[in-house]
């Protein structure tokens, strides 16, 4: 049967510039002579050439995508260069996997060319679906040119790689070409299209053929960017994939040589049909009889709804061990329950059934991990909803639940999955988008009782109690890990301002149902300046110990993931050893809309001082236009904590 070719509208040439070929293993003389990049003289290196080429090929009767890549980087400042290690990720799923067909890498130092040997190329399993090929360039020094090229054979036709034109180093030349048979229709999104130096689309006639079938034409597209600035990363940002110049591909339709069309889920309405009656999800969310037989009966006898839901949550959290698998495939939750081990989806769907059995109305919450792009609320093909948790309303409050992690308390979503909005799957009504909003406050509260030493008036002793709740407790518990109190004390001292710490006591280290409390003693010396003595009441490790915002401007949002509150109260008794010369001025600073604030107050009597600092980030994210004000607020916090002492004079 003849196949009717599916032709697409093709882009036209937008500039007279052409693509630039490069010979593998032979950098040019001008590349060797380059001492810096005049458009970014502080850059430790420059990507000279970055080229990708994807095309389709039939191998042993199967359609494969061939991915070719060629890369060259110039090193200007080896001491500050951080790109000497390369990682190539290969995808695998069930029995199908991508494989490296060829790989070659060189360090060029003038006329000397050192090839990376096979014994220095390592393979590691990153997770159940990712294999990483890793190697490091040898003998990297100022002036080196690092070059590598590889070819990957992929059975995943839906996985045409995204192409990143922008990286953490500036890029002199970046080119991407794709030759796609007309059997496959891909949607494309180009970020930074106004920076394209060259764009060309043509039809390649009879470029693809399956044995014993007719030929198909191919849509061939080439895109080029030149002189692409480095992407400057900074703390409190979502994945850089959201903001760099790039091309995204997503398979929208597949057409067989017999004319059969298979459309992918290109609307959320189509995507939601996965959760309709008779679907695989319904099978795994309707296991009430099984869980009624296997769950303790006393869980359902608790009268208070919130306490009942918590008891069911902690029952499943304690029953299961997570097998480190993340994904949204429900699989067999009864088998997982019997084995006391399961994926994050199996554990949370077990919780779903338990809550449903207890009379609650839980809903599935699908979110995208923070290392992915923000979900596209218009187009599911460009969205990876790779994490399944739950949401439930109790007494008019919405709680997000994830029982797969031992460290997560009831009502706290996994912070690694707070990435824009998630999709709520409502089997009893339409599905919808929702942000993650926690009912648990994220607080770090420190109370200090400081007094001058009776025997040495230059020394001050402190009793410190720190309390952490919400995500701040989760973060601190992760830092604690398996460390003992002595190791924790040593680490705490490194972040304290010239203080010696002792008598550390940690309460509720593994009990995530209550706040984490840390008590310790501290001793510090007053800073002597002439006849004056300076003390800093907030000497301990604070949540923000430096200003995370260093850039002059920022073009992408600031994302803390959740609101943050810090409250520090220091009561200082100088007895009859000192006169108080001055305390820092009281201050209040507030961002527009009360989205962030700092207040610092000092009250004093003849022999006592009470210092109180409150810092609040009320919103989880901020627009780039708010960056400079937020940066100023954080600097005010750092100055108040570290640069504004109480000034005393010995009597």
pLDDT tens-digit profile of 333-374? 999 999 999 999 999 999 999 999 999 999 999 999 998 999
Burial of 353 (0-12, 13-18, 19+ CB in 10 A): buried
Exposed e or buried b for every residue in 174-195, given b needs 16+ CB within 10 A? bbbbbbbbbbbbbebbbbeeeb
pLDDT at site 331:
78
pLDDT at site 151:
97
Q: Which tokens go with 266?
A: 């290109």
Pick the CATH number of 270-434 from 1.10.10, 2.60.120, 1.10.3470, 3.10.620: 3.10.620
pLDDT at site 196:
95
pLDDT at site 414:
94
CA distance 230 to 250: 26
pLDDT at site 3:
28
CA distance 54 to 121: 24
Residues forming beta bridges with residue 293, ordered by sequence position: none
CA distance 485 to 493: 12
Looking at mean pLDDT, say which of 122-126, 156-160, 265-269 comes out highest: 122-126
Given a cut of 90, whether residue 270 has pLDDT beyond it is no
Pick the CATH number of 443-650 from 3.40.50.2300, 3.40.50.720, 3.30.1360.30, 2.60.120.1130: 2.60.120.1130
Name which of 390, 416, 367, 419 is nearest 317 in CA terms: 390
pLDDT band at 278 (very low <50, low <70, confident <90, very high): low
Residues of the chain with CATH 2.60.120.1130: 443-650
Given a cut of 70, whether residue 175 has pLDDT beyond it is yes
> What are the φ/ψ torsions at residue 550 (nearest 5 degrees)?
-115, -20
CA distance 571 to 606: 13
Exposed e or buried b for every residue in 75-100, given b needs 16+ CB within 10 A? bbeeeebebbebebebbbeeeeebee
Residues of the chain with CATH 3.10.620: 270-434
Given a cut of 70, whether residue 542 has pLDDT beyond it is yes
CA distance 553 to 543: 24
Looking at mean pLDDT, say which of 68-72, 404-408, 482-486, 498-502 comes out highest: 68-72
Residues of the chain with CATH 2.60.40.3140: 38-263
Over the stretch 95-134, which tens digit does the pLDDT of each residue have?
A: 899 999 999 999 999 999 999 999 999 999 887 788 999 9
Looking at mean pLDDT, say which of 80-89, 150-159, 368-377, 486-495 comes out highest: 80-89
Q: What CATH topology corresponds to 38-263?
A: Immunoglobulin-like (2.60.40)
Terminus-to-terminus CA distance in the chain, angstroms?
104
pLDDT at site 494:
87
| Helix, strand, coil abundance in the chain, percent, nearest 5 | 20, 40, 40
pLDDT band at 276 (very low <50, low <70, confident <90, very high): low
Looking at mean pLDDT, say which of 87-96, 258-267, 348-357 comes out highest: 348-357
Who contacts 344 (Cβ-Cβ below 8 Å, separation ≥6)?
A: 322, 325, 326, 327, 387, 388, 389, 402, 404
Measured in residues, the chain has a length of: 651
Over the stretch 580-600, which tens digit does the pLDDT of each residue have?
A: 999 999 999 999 999 999 999
pLDDT at site 2:
28
pLDDT at site 130:
87
SS3 259: coil
CA distance 300 to 313: 12
Mean pLDDT (the chain) is 91
Share of the chain above pLDDT 90, in %: 76
Q: Which tokens go with 462?
A: 């402190």
Over the stretch 1-37, which tens digit does the pLDDT of each residue have?
A: 222 222 233 333 344 456 777 889 899 999 999 999 9
Given a cut of 80, whether residue 45 has pLDDT beyond it is yes
Query: In the Cβ-directed half-sphere of 132, how many Cα atoms lie within 13 Å?
Result: 10
Q: What is the mean pLDDT of residues 439-460?
A: 94
CB 648 within 8 A of CB 526: yes
């Amino acid at each position: 049967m003849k196949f009717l070719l599916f032709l697409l509208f093709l882009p036209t040439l937008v500039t007279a510039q052409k693509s630039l070929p490069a010979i593998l293993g032979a950098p040019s003389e001008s590349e060797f002579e380059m001492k810096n990049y005049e458009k970014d003289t502080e850059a430790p290196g420059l990507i000279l050439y970055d080229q990708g080429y994807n095309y389709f090929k039939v191998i042993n009767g199967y359609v494969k995508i061939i991915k070719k890549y060629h890369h060259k980087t110039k090193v200007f400042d080896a001491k500050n260069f951080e790109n000497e290690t390369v990682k190539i990720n290969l995808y695998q799923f069930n029995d199908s996997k991508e494989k490296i067909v060829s790989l070659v890498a060189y360090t060029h130092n003038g006329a000397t060319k050192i090839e990376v040997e096979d014994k220095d190329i390592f393979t590691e399993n990153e997770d159940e679906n990712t294999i990483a090929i890793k190697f490091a360039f040898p003998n990297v020094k100022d002036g080196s040119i690092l070059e590598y090229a590889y070819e990957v054979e992929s059975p995943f036709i839906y996985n045409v790689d995204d192409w990143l034109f922008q990286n953490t180093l500036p890029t002199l030349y970046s080119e991407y070409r794709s030759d796609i048979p007309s059997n496959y229709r891909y949607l494309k999104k180009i970020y930074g299209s106004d920076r394209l130096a060259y764009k060309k689309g043509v039809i390649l006639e009879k470029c693809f053929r399956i044995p014993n079938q007719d030929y198909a034409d191919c849509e061939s597209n080439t895109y080029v960017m030149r002189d692409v600035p480095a992407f400057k990363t900074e703390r409190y940002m979502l994945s850089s994939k959201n903001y760099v110049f790039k091309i995204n591909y997503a398979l929208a339709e597949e057409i067989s040589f017999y004319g059969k069309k298979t459309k992918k889920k290109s609307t959320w309405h189509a995507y939601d049909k996965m959760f309709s009656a008779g679907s695989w999800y319904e099978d795994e969310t309707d296991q009430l009889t099984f869980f009624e037989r296997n769950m303790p009966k006393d869980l359902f006898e608790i009268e208070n709804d919130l306490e009942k839901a918590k008891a069911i949550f902690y029952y499943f959290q304690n029953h299961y061990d997570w097998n480190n698998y993340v994904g949204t495939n429900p699989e067999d939750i009864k088998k997982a329950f019997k084995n006391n081990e399961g994926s994050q989806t199996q554990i949370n769907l077990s919780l779903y059934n338990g809550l449903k059995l207890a009379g609650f109305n839980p809903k599935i919450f699908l979110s995208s991990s923070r290392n992915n792009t923000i979900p596209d609320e218009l187009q599911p093909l460009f969205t990876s909803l790779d994490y399944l948790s739950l949401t439930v309303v109790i007494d008019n409050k919405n709680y997000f639940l994830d029982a797969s992690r031992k460290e997560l308390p009831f009502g706290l979503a996994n912070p690694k999955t707070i990435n824009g909005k998630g999709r709520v799957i409502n089997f009893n009504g339409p599905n919808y988008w929702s942000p993650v909003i926690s009912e648990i406050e994220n607080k770090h509260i420190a109370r200090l009782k400081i007094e001058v030493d009776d025997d040495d008036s230059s020394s001050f002793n402190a009793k410190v109690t720190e309390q952490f709740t919400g995500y701040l407790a989760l973060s601190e518990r992760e830092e604690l890990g398996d460390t003992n109190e002595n190791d924790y004390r040593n680490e705490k001292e490194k972040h304290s301002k010239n203080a010696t710490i002792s008598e550390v006591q940690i309460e509720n280290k593994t009990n995530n149902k209550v706040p984490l409390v840390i008590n310790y003693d501290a001793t510090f010396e007053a800073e002597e300046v002439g006849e004056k003595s300076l003390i800093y009441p907030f000497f301990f490790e604070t949540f923000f110990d430096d200003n995370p915002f260093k850039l002059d401007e920022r073009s992408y949002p600031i994302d803390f993931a959740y609101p943050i509150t810090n409250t520090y109260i220091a009561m200082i008794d100088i007895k009859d050893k000192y006169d108080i010369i001055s305390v820092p001025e009281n201050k209040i600073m507030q961002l527009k809309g009360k989205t962030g604030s700092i207040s610092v107050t000092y009250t004093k009597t003849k022999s006592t001082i009470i210092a109180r600092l409150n810092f609040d980030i009320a919103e989880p994210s901020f627009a780039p236009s708010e960056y400079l004000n937020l940066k100023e607020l954080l600097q005010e916090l750092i100055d108040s904590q570290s640069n504004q002492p109480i000034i005393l004079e010995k009597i």
